[in-house]
Amino acid sequence: MNFSDFFYFFLKTFESVFRKNEYDIQLQKIPTVEYKL
């Protein structure tokens, strides 16, 4: 992955954690990491 992808992923993850939205965290944590890597 390049820097922009990593930054975007970090931003979205941080946003989910910051909002403490469990659905977002569940949705993004595993599938997104698997997909990106």
The answer to whether residues 14 and 28 touch, using CB atoms and an 8 Å cutoff, is no
Q: Classify 5 as helix, strand or coil.
A: helix
Per-position pLDDT tens, the chain of length 37: 688 888 888 888 887 777 765 665 566 665 555 555 5
For residue 23, the surrounding DSSP H or E stretch is helix 22-36
Domain boundaries, the chain: 3-36
State pTM to two decimals. Answer: 0.39
